Amino acid sequence: MTDPGALDRLVQRITMQVRWRRAEYHALRGLFYGAVLAVLLLAVKTPLGFWALPSAGAVVLLGVVGGALWGFFQRVPATDAARLADGAFGLQDRVATALEWAGRPDRPPLVEALLADAIARVDALAPRQIIRRLIPREARWLPIPALLALTLAVSPPLPLPSGRLPDLSAGTETAETRERGDMATMDQDRRQVPKDALKRQAFEERDFNQRGGTGASPTGGDLSAIFKDTSLGNQRPDFNSFLKKGDERLKLLEQVDRLPDLQSDFTQSQYKMVFRKSKALKSGLRPDQISPQKLRELLEEMERLGRKGGSWGNDAAEGLDALEGGQPDKALEAMEKALNKMRAMDEQGRGGKNLRGGRENDSGASRDRRSGSGGGPDEQDFGEGEGLLPGKGKSGSPKGEASQRLRASPYDVGVEGESRKGRKDGYDTNMTGRGGKMGSRLSYLGVIGQYRKMMEDAIAREQVPRDFQGQIKDYFQSLDER
């Protein structure tokens, strides 16, 4: 059998090259970390005295030598070295294959020829360095600790902190003395506390107004006297804690990411476009009045969308079949089914991202209301993304879940009975049922005004047919005249 000695020698040569390159690499890293340690040692050279400089030098040397040794003695698998040789000398995996198969007992006769061929090619090679030098990341930052170390070595020792903490006892005693002094001066002293530069003017004013009623002198009802000998005695009885809550709400409004982006959600969804098309197509027409061509185009569009991963493709296909069979009413039914599936999927997709925080917060509020701990209607927030109003929130229905809306909104209580006699400008409703238990009384005119505004917004947004717009307005007008 051919002796693969030449191949072994090549692999050993490559292994040594790898070792030296690794030693260089890790020595540079060691130099960097040694230099950093040296800087630290030189920074505290006062206690070290004469030994600071030699120990810094020793640390640098230790880093270099330690790194080089670590790199040099790391394991280099022979197969990897053979592959490197094959790649560098263009040997097309001859060396790696020959070395691997030479030691196998089941080697076919062709391996002999392979060994001879590989050895002949390796013998013809001129030895050269094939492993490129790699500079570690740390080497780029080496000049910084090196310069620092040099500067610290030639400069006088840095003054070290004494280690004593500042004595704050005198100030405390003064405050205590003042506390035990005349109570009449206590409030004046409080007013002399420097104002917080970050405190907003509006808060300052409110603070001032709240405290204005107490007067400059202590009264019989001044609660600060109760806390005189406690830690609370030092605190000012202000209302900033109440204001803070309002401030946090304002901050929440500044977190744009938490607000639902309904506009982009609506316009960017291709499913919404299909909804719009379907609405435009139907727009108050009977099934026999709808253009079959337009219906077919819409169904084809829906089927195409369904093929991309929706579950409504079959419905759309059924609709197309029904249309082909001259049954536009069945086609419309199938289209409605497909639309419902698309809508559900779209709403599901929106619920995962943009509408977080709307309904979730509300559900918490609803729980509070149900448990009786919630506040009155004044605490309700009907801003954008609340999820209770038609066309908002995560409901599968375009108008939201009716039961959810009724439970969640005090404006959706069942209003029954007749208006009571008396003043007409702010008359309460006779609330029976759910609304009656809530203990809230709403101004009918205020509520109807809010709903009328929502109606006008909805008409502008939802493409309501012109004929229906008049009807809707008339309806609200009739409510107003009540």
- State yes or no: residue 111 binds other proteins (CB under 8 A): yes
Rounded CA separation 415/438 (Å): 13
Rounded CA separation 263/420 (Å): 43
- State yes or no: residue 76 binds other proteins (CB under 8 A): yes
Beta bridge partners of residue 431, listed in sequence order: 415
Per-residue interface string for the shown chain with other proteins, residues 120-149, x marking contact by CB under 8 A: -----------x--x---------------
Q: Residue 107 or 441: which CB sits closer to other proteins? A: 107
Task: Transcribe 189-247 into DSSP letters.
Answer: HHHTSPPPTTS-HHHHHHHHHHHHTT-SS--TT-GGGTTTTSGGGGS---SHHHHHHHH
Give the one residue of 12, 46, 51, 93 binding other proteins; rule: CB under 8 A. 93
Q: What is the CA radius of gyration of the chain?
A: 42
- State yes or no: residue 110 binds other proteins (CB under 8 A): yes
Query: Which listed range, 46-54, 112-120, 386-394, 404-412, lies at the site for other proteins (CB under 8 A)?
Result: 112-120
Rounded CA separation 26/63 (Å): 9
Give the one residue of 47, 49, 105, 109 binding other proteins; rule: CB under 8 A. 109
- 3-state class (DSSP) for residue 295: helix
Q: Find out whether 358 and 366 touch, Cβ atoms under 8 Å.
A: no
- Least Å distance, CB 136 to other proteins, is 9
Rounded CA separation 290/282 (Å): 7
Give the one residue of 39, 84, 316, 332 binding other proteins; rule: CB under 8 A. 84
Q: Find out whether 311 and 305 touch, Cβ atoms under 8 Å.
A: no
Spatial CB neighbours of 172, under 8 Å, sequence gap ≥ 6: none
Query: Which listed range, 85-93, 154-162, 231-239, 469-477, lies at the site for other proteins (CB under 8 A)?
Result: 85-93
- Least Å distance, CB 9 to other proteins, is 19
Q: Residue 61 or 114: which CB sits closer to other proteins? A: 114
Beta bridge partners of residue 415, listed in sequence order: 431
- Least Å distance, CB 68 to other proteins, is 13
- State yes or no: residue 98 binds other proteins (CB under 8 A): yes
Give the one residue of 83, 190, 296, 330 binding other proteins; rule: CB under 8 A. 83
Give the one residue of 4, 7, 22, 85 binding other proteins; rule: CB under 8 A. 22
- State yes or no: residue 18 binds other proteins (CB under 8 A): yes
- Least Å distance, CB 281 to other proteins, is 26
Q: Find out whether 314 and 322 touch, Cβ atoms under 8 Å.
A: no
Rounded CA separation 243/249 (Å): 10
- Least Å distance, CB 83 to other proteins, is 6
Query: Which listed range, 35-43, 110-118, 285-293, 342-350, lies at the site for other proteins (CB under 8 A)?
Result: 110-118
Query: Which listed range, 77-85, 249-257, 315-323, 467-475, lies at the site for other proteins (CB under 8 A)?
Result: 77-85
- Least Å distance, CB 141 to other proteins, is 19
Spatial CB neighbours of 394, under 8 Å, sequence gap ≥ 6: 347, 350, 351, 355, 358, 359, 387
Helices (DSSP H) in 217-357: which residue ranges? 240-254, 262-268, 270-282, 292-307, 313-324, 328-351
Per-residue interface string for the shown chain with other proteins, residues 374-413, x marking contact by CB under 8 A: ----------------------------------------
- Least Å distance, CB 19 to other proteins, is 10
352-362 burial, b at 16+ Cβ within 10 Å, e below that, comes to eebbbbbbeeb
Rounded CA separation 42/325 (Å): 93
Binding site for other proteins (CB under 8 A): 18, 21-22, 25, 76, 79-80, 83-84, 87, 92-94, 96-98, 100-101, 107-114, 116-117, 131, 134, 307-308
